[in-house]
Amino acid sequence: MLYFKQMKGMLIIKYIRIIRELEKVLELTPKPFFPSLRVGWEGRWYWVPLRFPKKPSVTELAVHEIRHRIQKEQKIKLIKLEEVKDWLFPEDIKVIQSAKISEGEKDAEIVEKIGTELLRQQRINEFRDLMLKSKVPSKL
């Protein structure tokens, strides 16, 4: 049981650290965090989940929430699924297509997948363009 609590605490610290790193890369003003039973962006702060959802990685979750913040603060163009079909796995496309979610949520799901891959490859300028200008990279 102690190991599980330590892992959960490490995930919270990792999530906060990644959000702060992304804010620096994207030149966003840091916003506070508040504990919650859910995760999200509320306009003035980030909710830090006491239980992490079953996402593949904490990095994807952080990229997703930063994208929601940028959507609301900067009123950016949302990326449509048709623009990125060549970049996503077929199973990801099916999940996004079949989900009954808003266009903003679909955009955040798309950016979560592509953005995390760009970060993994250290393609920071392309990540910045994706997040701030909705510019999809020419290839992954």
What is the tens place of the pLDDT at every residue in 35-83?
876 667 777 888 887 766 666 688 999 999 999 999 999 989 999 988 8
Query: Strand, coil or helix: what is 34?
Result: strand
How far is the CA of 98 from the CAs of 44, 77, 102, in angstroms? Answer: 31, 22, 12
| Rounded Cα gap, residues 111 and 114, in angstroms | 5
The model's confidence at residue 3, banded by pLDDT at 50, 70 and 90, is: very low
The model's pTM: 0.86
Q: Which residues pair with 35 in a beta bridge?
A: 48
- More confidently predicted of 41 and 131: 131
- Calpha distance 26→78 (Å, rounded): 17
For the chain, the domains span 2-133
Rounded to an integer, what distance in angstroms lies between the CA atom of residue 110 and that of residue 119? 14
- Amino acid 13: pLDDT: 87
Distance CA 96, CA 93 (A): 5
Edge-to-edge order in the sheet of strand 33-36: 33-36, 46-49, 40-41
Contacts for 90 with CB less than 8 Å, ≥ 6 apart? none
Q: How far apart are the first and last CA of the chain?
A: 40
